């Protein structure tokens, strides 16, 4: 079942696709288009206006940043091309060397920009877009290599949002993402409070389980303080081994089943937010 943030991600992708050819998009235009797509999904989002405004602010901020950087890179590329043509015509080796140096710097900037397109702005881990474009065959949506997939889902995350607010919820997501990075594997924000870790093909299943259990143990013993109160957090894990050619959706389903069994056990162990 999709949670609020996952639905917002889907609607956002549809909105951005529809405005791709527009030369000017104001915040109100973006919001109107966004709300139209939201209605088409026939879903009621809790605190809809606040949630949409928060999400739109994030999306618009990212779009503005990317547009500004892209414009800057395009200008630099145009200037370097003009300089290169002039240097070649005049056989000016000094100017050509300068152009090559600037172009290499520009290439690094573009690489950073490309990398930012694959990072979740809140948690700074990879997005589903990265998963789709780096680990799957475009035609079949099957894995292009073997490995281990771990699906992580926070326990009682809705209660955290309802009790302490979305700002605290965001901080919890950032904290969990940073803890999962300790695996030194590819961490992906798959949905609102769901993460995926892709362990390399050289990783062993038992080692992956041990790493995640150690992280979970550390997390569960930490109490997060909010003013005069505090709460602990935990997450459930489902792990599935996959081979080259396996379908992503089938591996996710298997990992989700394993995670469901783990969640039942975890909720007996950690029954509430205390």
Task: Band the pLDDT of 149: cuts 50, 70, 90.
Answer: very high
Question: Average pLDDT of the chain?
Answer: 78
Residue range 21-46: mean pLDDT, rounded:
62
Residue 59 shares a structural domain with residue 190: no
Question: Has residue 73 been placed in a domain?
Answer: yes
pLDDT in tens, 188-240: 999 889 999 999 888 999 999 999 999 999 998 888 888 788 888 999 999 99
Residue 106 shares a structural domain with residue 200: no
pLDDT surpassing 80 at residue 38: no
Residue 134 shares a structural domain with residue 237: yes
Question: Has residue 274 been placed in a domain?
Answer: no
Domain containing residue 226: CATH number: 3.30.70.270
Residue 142 shares a structural domain with residue 253: yes
Residue 101 shares a structural domain with residue 11: yes
Residue range 140-164: mean pLDDT, rounded:
91
Question: Has residue 122 been placed in a domain?
Answer: no
- Which of the listed residues 117, 136, 162 is the one where a domain comes to its end? 117
Sort 150 into a burial class: Cβ within 10 Å, 0-12 / 13-18 / 19+.
buried
- Which of the listed residues 89, 117, 145 is the one where a domain comes to its end? 117
153 φ/ψ sector (left φ>0, alpha ψ -120 to 50, else beta): beta
- Which of the listed residues 59, 92, 117 is the one where a domain comes to its end? 117
Structure confidence at residue 121 (pLDDT): 84
Residue 154 shares a structural domain with residue 32: no
Question: Has residue 164 been placed in a domain?
Answer: yes
Task: Band the pLDDT of 18: cuts 50, 70, 90.
Answer: low
Residue 19 shares a structural domain with residue 60: yes
Total domain count for the chain?
2
Residue 106 shares a structural domain with residue 145: no
By percentage, how much of the chain surpasses pLDDT 70?
58
Which structural domain, as residue segments, surrounds residue 13? 4-117
Structure confidence at residue 227 (pLDDT): 78
Structure confidence at residue 205 (pLDDT): 94
pLDDT in tens, 243-261: 999 999 999 999 999 998 8
Angle between the 205-220 and 166-180 helix axes, to the nearest 10 degrees?
A: 140
Residue 137 shares a structural domain with residue 173: yes
pLDDT surpassing 50 at residue 1: no
Residue 170 shares a structural domain with residue 244: yes
Residue 132 shares a structural domain with residue 113: no
User: Residue ranges of the alpha helices (H) in the chain?
Assistant: 4-18, 27-40, 48-90, 93-117, 128-135, 157-164, 166-180, 205-220, 248-269
């Amino acid at each position: 079942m999709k949670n609020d943030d996952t639905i917002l991600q889907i609607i956002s992708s549809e909105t951005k696709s529809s405005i791709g050819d527009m030369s000017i998009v104001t915040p109100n235009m973006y919001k109107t288009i966004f709300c139209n797509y939201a209605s088409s999904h026939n879903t009621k989002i809790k605190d809809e206006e606040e949630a949409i405004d928060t999400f739109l602010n994030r999306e618009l901020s990212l779009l503005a940043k990317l547009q500004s950087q892209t414009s800057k890179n395009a200008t630099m590329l145009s200037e370097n091309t003009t300089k290169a043509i002039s240097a070649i015509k005049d056989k000016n080796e000094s100017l050509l060397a300068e152009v090559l140096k600037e172009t290499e710097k520009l290439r690094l900037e573009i690489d950073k920009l490309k990398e930012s397109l694959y990072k979740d702005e809140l948690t700074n881990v990879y997005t589903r877009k990265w998963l789709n474009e780096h680990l799957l065959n475009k035609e079949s949506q099957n894995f292009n290599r073997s490995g281990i997939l771990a699906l992580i889902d926070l326990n009682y995350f809705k209660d955290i949002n309802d009790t302490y607010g979305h700002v605290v919820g965001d901080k919890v997501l950032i904290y969990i993402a940073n803890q999962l990075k300790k695996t030194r594997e590819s961490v992906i924000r798959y949905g609102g409070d769901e993460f995926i870790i892709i362990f390399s093909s050289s990783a062993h299943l038992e080692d992956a389980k041990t790493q995640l259990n150690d992280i979970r143990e550390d997390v569960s013993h930490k109490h997060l303080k909010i003013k005069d109160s505090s709460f602990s957090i935990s997450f459930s894990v489902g792990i599935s081994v996959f081979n080259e050619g396996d379908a992503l959706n089938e591996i996710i389903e298997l990992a989700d089943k394993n995670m469901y069994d783990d969640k039942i056990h975890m909720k007996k162990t950690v029954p509430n937010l205390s």
